[in-house]
Amino acid sequence: MIVIALGANLAGPDGTPPLVTCTRALAAVASLPGLALRAASPWYESAPVPPSGQPPYINGVASFSGIIAPEALLSALQAIEARFGRLRGLPNAARTLDLDIIDLDGLCRASPDPILPHPRAHERAFVLAPLADIAPDWRHPVLGQSAAALLAGLPGQMIRKLAARDAAR
């Protein structure tokens, strides 16, 4: 299973709200050759991690099946981010779109990029909560724990599932 996290907290260059950007980005990722969408989580709103005073994020997670090289997937995701106005600057800065590879069929590697599994996914409620929604049997390839167990062990992080009426906007 390939797991990709999606997030945004700034409007796109054309004023597109983060939720719309994330929804459109999910469709763009799902259309990549070699990938087939298996499941997409509900959307969540979360506070930035680490806390920084920036606007809240819209986050979700999707799982895919398929065969794709890690470098090719990273390149494709970065191209999608650029199409949606992502500018790379400071780490953890506000952004129009963030696409992260969380897991790629259990592959573990420290280099080259992308580092797999994602090196901070297990510390982030905005990844673990939506991941637990769509893949309750998923286990972290290094830690061996489920998303729900990892989430339960986190210190408090502000996150809330968006109601269907919010997500429909």
pLDDT at 169 over 70: no
Q: What number is the average pLDDT over the span 21-48?
A: 96
Question: Is residue 137 annotated as a catalytic residue, yes or no?
Answer: no
Share of the chain above pLDDT 70, in %: 97
Model confidence pLDDT, tens digit, residues 91-106:
777 899 999 999 999 9
Find the largest Cα–Cα distance for the chain: 42
51 compared with 108, residue with greater pLDDT: 108
Question: Is residue 88 annotated as a catalytic residue, yes or no?
Answer: no
Question: Is residue 100 annotated as a catalytic residue, yes or no?
Answer: yes
**Of these residues, 14, 24, 83, 86, which one is catalytic?**
86
**Of these residues, 14, 88, 95, 139, which one is catalytic?**
95
Question: Is residue 98 annotated as a catalytic residue, yes or no?
Answer: yes
pLDDT at 84 over 90: yes
Q: Which of 21-25, 38-42, 105-109, 160-164 has the lowest mean pLDDT?
A: 160-164
What helix, strand, coil percent values describe the chain, rounded to 5?
Answer: 30, 25, 45
**Of these residues, 24, 38, 98, 165, which one is catalytic?**
98
All structural domains of the chain: 2-167 (3.30.70.560)
Please, which residues have CB within 8 angstroms of residue 119's CB and are 6 or more apart in sequence?
A: none
Query: Residue 20: phi, psi to the nearest 5?
Result: -65, -40
**Of these residues, 24, 83, 100, 103, which one is catalytic?**
100
